[in-house]
Amino acid sequence: MLIEPQFRTKFADAVWGTMERLSRMAAFESALASAQAKVGLIPRSAAKTITQICNGPLPKASNVYEEAIVAGNPAIPFLKILTVSVNAKDSGATAYVHFGSTSQDLIDSAHMMALTKIADALDASLQQVASELRRLTTTHAETPMVSRTLLQQATPITFGLKAGLWGTAITQARQQLKVARINDMAVQLGGSNGALSAMAPHGPKVRADVAAQLGLADPGYCWHTLRSRVLTISAVLAVVVGVTAKIAGDCLLMMQTEVGEVQESFPGESSAMPHKKNPVHALVPVAALPLVATHLATLAGSQMHAHERAPGSWHTEWITLPVLTCLTLASVERVKEMISGLKINIPQMRANLALTRGTLAAEELVTTLAAGIARDEAHNLVDDLLKQSQNNNFSETVRSNSKVSELLTKEKIAEILGYKQTLTAAAREAQRLAKTINDV
């Protein structure tokens, strides 16, 4: 595939490789013949021959995708090779190869079979990511750090809370993926016009049987020009990449030299600067996300499939789906590698939290003071204290202010400036989230 190695995985290369594509097409034809024989549409002897051929190596089948350039799609040369092979074994079975089906039935179903394998692989990897994030959430539930809004220091949180929210997003993505796996990854079987007329009155039963054999959903109808399920699946893949990009993006910002809160276990090198420790895994999902968004937009724009078989719109999926799935698999794989070995610099997190010398307590200080004086007066008082300290040492400015001392005890002031309440709340929320992160 024309994708750089870091944006691919061995699994993705195999799934979209020629041999696995041919294997899926053969599996469809085998399932179709078997299902048709059960209801008496074709002789059992013919089905036996077809399934035997489909389960073995097809001669010259490796040239199918080259021959598809002339044929218009890979199903046609594949079926020619299959028919020749069946004829050599049992000439009487030849007429029943691909009986009552179309190229689109074969190609769409084969694509859906690929998507189920990809969905299962993604779920397994996401499960591992969730498990690691659950561990980080629990381990660092009370590890203090600063939260950042609009890239500026906001209020204290814990690293466990940040990891817990990442884990929550992974859990939600897994749930959406499972729903798409069950409901939208469906067999396509409609025959020439969607009515399965050649299989009447057994068409629905055959379709259900084929779906069961292939591990696909039975949609209960022909969806050859109703492509919403393809868009739904693709949208879920985009969600998965979006979640991984969020995690990787946060980590990239935390990896900056000036921040230094986390680091990949095996950072990359620079070709020119020996001192550099570059992120490697985190780059992939961040780079992949806009590409995935573009491919999703392409699929959304090609939803209009004219009449009973679309010229162009259908074919767009053949290009888009493999690339989209490869980018998704790579994004999850890289985040899994990054999270599993992520180095957490707790002292640096504490140092960054202490940079503004208590300024981050301003919000809580206003709220606490407002219990004894008007809120506007409390806000103005804290605003004046901030101006007086000019970020040099807000804590000392607060402690030395007589008005604050009149309203609050030394113990309460110490709690506020030590971020006790804020950090306790963050730790509690992290512990709660840890219990909801689904790693099974």
Task: Name the CATH topology of 9-100+191-220.
Answer: Fumarase C; Chain B, domain 1 (1.10.275)
Can you tell me the distance from the alpha carbon of 32 to that of 168, in angstroms, rounded to the nearest whole number? 41
For residues 176 and 236, is the Cβ–Cβ distance under 8 A? Answer: yes
Pick left, alpha or beta for residue 196 (phi over 0 → left; psi -120 to 50 → alpha; otherwise beta): left
Nearest to 206 by CA among 292, 72, 101, 286: 101
- Token pair in block for residue 392: 């040099």
For residues 214 and 187, is the Cβ–Cβ distance under 8 A? Answer: yes
The confidence score (pLDDT) of residue 274 equals 79
Which residues make Cβ contacts (< 8 Å) with residue 371, sequence separation at least 6? none
DSSP codes joined into one string, 25-43: HHHHHHHHHHHHHHTTSS-
Residue type for position 105: D
Which residues of the chain register pLDDT less than 50? none
The confidence score (pLDDT) of residue 231 equals 97
* DSSP strand pairing (262-263 vs 152-158): unpaired
Q: Model pTM?
A: 0.94
CA dihedral 44, 46, 52, 54 (to 10 degrees): -120
Whether CATH 1.20.200.10 fits 102-186+223-355+426-440:
yes
User: How many Cβ atoms are within 10 Å of 151's Cβ, its own excluded?
Assistant: 7
Q: Which residues are known catalytic residues? A: 270, 309
Domain layout of the chain by residue ranges: 9-100+191-220, 102-186+223-355+426-440, 359-417
Q: Per this entry, what is the length of the chain?
A: 440
Nearest to 3 by CA among 297, 295, 316: 295
- 8-state DSSP, 55: T
The confidence score (pLDDT) of residue 74 equals 94
Which residues make Cβ contacts (< 8 Å) with residue 369, sequence separation at least 6? 378, 381, 382, 404, 407, 408
Which residues make Cβ contacts (< 8 Å) with residue 409, sequence separation at least 6? none
Helix (H) or strand (E) holding 333: helix 313-340
Nearest to 196 by CA among 360, 340, 39, 428: 39
DSSP codes joined into one string, 159-183: HHHHHHHHHHHHHHHHHHHHHHHHH
The confidence score (pLDDT) of residue 2 equals 56
Return the bridge partners of 343, or none: 263
User: How many Cβ atoms are within 10 Å of 114's Cβ, its own excluded?
Assistant: 20
Can you tell me the distance from the alpha carbon of 300 to that of 428, in angstroms, rounded to the nearest whole number? 42
Can you tell me the distance from the alpha carbon of 165 to that of 160, in angstroms, rounded to the nearest whole number? 9
